[in-house]
Amino acid sequence: VRIFRSRIYTAVALLVLLLLIGVIGFKYVSQYSWIDALYMTVITITTVGFGEVYPLDPASKIFTMLLILTSIIIVGYALTVITEYILSRNNLEELKQK
Amino acid sequence: VRIFRSRIYTAVALLVLLLLIGVIGFKYVSQYSWIDALYMTVITITTVGFGEVYPLDPASKIFTMLLILTSIIIVGYALTVITEYILSRNNLEELKQK
Amino acid sequence: VRIFRSRIYTAVALLVLLLLIGVIGFKYVSQYSWIDALYMTVITITTVGFGEVYPLDPASKIFTMLLILTSIIIVGYALTVITEYILSRNNLEELKQK
Amino acid sequence: VRIFRSRIYTAVALLVLLLLIGVIGFKYVSQYSWIDALYMTVITITTVGFGEVYPLDPASKIFTMLLILTSIIIVGYALTVITEYILSRNNLEELKQK
Ligand SMILES: [K+]
Ligand SMILES: [K+]
């Protein structure tokens, strides 16, 4: 249980870091306002993807692709942690039933 | 089984609540018509994200981000309930096989 | 195993039906060309959601929302079938190891 | 364990292949620049779907649909491999507990 708690903290910390990288990137690479940079980061990471807030130059497109790829790895890690947590809880209940 | 039934009801109730929050938010924060507010809510929650029906002002962007984050938590809860339900049914079948 | 095979066939049949409903709907409700209706259906069901091929009138928006909701149910059913199939194969291997 | 390692390599190879097909397709079917073709491929495969970088002609729409469908199969394969890997690790731990 302790192992899962620390892994869940790691996953949450990585997601916050991802949000920070996104906001700073769109602010300084794409010259977005803070609110637009946060909005663009949220719709990118969650794959809602309404559309670029303002058209992106090539450097911004490369940054966006790197953000998407990093996002997949971190979200994938978070999903694995959650799945393993559900499975381990499931095993415990199974053992109790026996 | 009873526990799952009540959890599934909770998940469905939360999803209906999410839809209501979205519609009311886009209606009054973003001045959308009822049909556009519902359409915007559905394409946001499901991450289809065709694009904002009308451009969003900063307040609407903040509301949209909050809706997306709430949506992730509720959809995540619903998926966990469904996964646990499938796993528990799977365990029952396993026990029967023995 | 036979049960899973018939369930997988059901899931595939439902997905083909969903595609047909989408194409016919965008063709006749939204007056899209066949190719645009198919393209719109594919980007809607898969939640890629590049954007509406042409702006949608209220009736088309309602149709699109119904298509998205039907899509979620059918894709959810397909995912459940696949998950149960993986789990049952997993159980069989577990039994063999004992 | 070895079986999973080779399956994970297959999944990674298929994803790289998918990326290559997407880039070459958007470059030559849709006349995109290399960077736009890569960007379009990444936002298509990940279903972020901000919007077509430039409007697509019918041939490009057919290519995009084929790319999305291929993507679903390959991502589905990758997810199945990962799920089975998590489950098998879970079984090993269960056996150890007994
Ligand atoms: K999308
Ligand atoms: K979009």
| Rounded-to-integer distance, Cα D91 and Cα D97, Å | 10
Average pLDDT over residues D8-26: 95
Tens digits of residue pLDDT in B17-50:
999 999 999 999 999 999 999 999 999 999 999 9
CATH code of domain C2-92: 1.10.287.70
According to CATH, the topology of domain D2-97 is Helix Hairpins (1.10.287)
Q: Which residues have a Cβ under 8 Å from the Cβ of A81 and sit 6 or more positions away?
A: A4, A7, A8, A10, A11
Task: Yes or no: say if B68 and A42 are a contact pair by the CB < 8 Å rule.
Answer: yes
| Rounded-to-integer distance, Cα C7 and Cα C14, Å | 10
Q: If you search the block for the tokens 């007994």, which residue do you land on?
A: D98
| Rounded-to-integer distance, Cα C10 and Cα C67, Å | 18
**pLDDT at site D25:** 97
Has residue A41 got a pLDDT over 70?
yes
Q: If you search the block for the tokens 């936002």, which residue do you land on?
A: D43
**pLDDT at site C63:** 97
Residue B93's CB is within 10 A of a number of other CB atoms, namely 13
Q: Which of D1, D77, D64, D7 lies closest to D30, judged by CA?
A: D64
Residues of B in contact with D49 (CB under 8 A): 49
Give me the average pLDDT of each 10-residue run along chain C (98 residues): 82 95 97 97 96 95 97 92 84 71
pLDDT-derived band of residue D98, with 50, 70 and 90 as boundaries? low
Contact D49 A47 (CB under 8 A): yes
Average pLDDT over residues A12-31: 96
Tens digits of residue pLDDT in D43-88:
999 999 999 999 999 999 999 999 999 999 999 999 888 888 888 8
Long-range contacts of B30-36 (CB under 8 A, 24+ apart): B30/B54, B30/B56, B30/B57, B30/B60, B30/B63, B35/C58, B35/C61, B35/C62, B36/C61
**pLDDT at site A88:** 82
Mean pLDDT of chain D: 91
Between these two residues, A28 and B86, which has the higher pLDDT value? A28
Q: How far does the centroid of ligand 1 lie from the alpha carbon of residue A49, in Å?
A: 5
**pLDDT at site C83:** 85
A49 touches chain C (CB under 8 A): yes
Contact D50 A47 (CB under 8 A): no
What percentage of residues in chain A have a pLDDT greater than 90? 71
**pLDDT at site C53:** 94
What percentage of residues in chain A have a pLDDT greater than 70? 96
- What's the sign of the alpha-carbon dihedral A54, A58, A60, A63? positive
pLDDT-derived band of residue A98, with 50, 70 and 90 as boundaries? low
**pLDDT at site A30:** 96
Q: How far does the centroid of ligand 2 lie from the alpha carbon of residue C40, in Å?
A: 12
Residues of D in contact with C12 (CB under 8 A): none
Q: How far does the centroid of ligand 1 lie from the alpha carbon of residue C47, in Å?
A: 5
**pLDDT at site D22:** 97
Dihedral Cα B44, B76, A68, A52, nearest 10 deg: 10
pLDDT-derived band of residue B98, with 50, 70 and 90 as boundaries? low
- Closest ligand to residue A47's CA: 1
List, as one string, the DSSP characters of C55-93: PPPHHHHHHHHHHHHHHHHHHHHHHHHHHHHHHHHHHHH
Mean pLDDT of chain A: 91
Residues of A in contact with B87 (CB under 8 A): 86-87, 90
- Closest ligand to residue C46's CA: 1
Q: Which of C45, C69, C65, C41 lies closest to C53, judged by CA?
A: C41
**pLDDT at site D5:** 82
Alpha-carbon distance values, C20 to C27, C45, C67, D59, D70 (Å): 11, 12, 11, 21, 19
CB-based burial of residue A72 (10 Å sphere; 0-12 exposed, 13-18 middle, 19+ buried)?
Answer: middle
Q: How far does the centroid of ligand 2 lie from the alpha carbon of residue C42, in Å?
A: 13
Average pLDDT over residues D5-19: 92
**pLDDT at site C1:** 61
Has residue A96 got a pLDDT over 70?
yes
CB-based burial of residue B60 (10 Å sphere; 0-12 exposed, 13-18 middle, 19+ buried)?
Answer: buried
Residues of C in contact with A49 (CB under 8 A): 49
Task: Return the half-sphere exposure (C-beta side, CA atoms, 13 A cut-off) of residue D85.
Answer: 16
Assembly ipTM: 0.91
Contact B47 D51 (CB under 8 A): no
Has residue B2 got a pLDDT over 80?
no
Has residue B95 got a pLDDT over 80?
no
| Rounded-to-integer distance, Cα A22 and Cα A53, Å | 14
Task: Yes or no: say if D36 and D53 are a contact pair by the CB < 8 Å rule.
Answer: yes
B94 touches chain D (CB under 8 A): no
